[in-house]
Structure 1
Amino acid sequence: MFLDMHKATNFDCVPLQDFTPEARRYGVTWIRWCIGQLADGDFILFFKRA
């Protein structure tokens, strides 16, 4: 039972520049391979929202 609490349950398929994570919902946001594709301004805005 304890391990079930730590499973990934949501996988959001949205452009990173449009993604706003729900407050206190995520312990990890995996953005590997995609942050390099964002314009600097879009990355900064995402990082502030996350």
Structure 2
Amino acid sequence: MVGLLLLKQLENLSDERVVLQFKRNPYYQYFCGYSNYMPGMPCNATELVHFRSV
């Protein structure tokens, strides 16, 4: 989650867009700690909003 929030800020993306980019981009996944490509999403955009508010 922290990796996604960092990428969101660095790339100036919306919550929905950063989650979609995570699904499509293996470099985003590697940045977030995944060693193998995972075709699914780790979370949805509403979970990012909840994580950020905690």
TM-score (norm 2): 0.28
- Structure index of larger Rg: 1
More helix by share: 2
> Whose relative contact order is higher, 1 or 2, with alpha carbons under 8 Å and at least 6 apart?
1
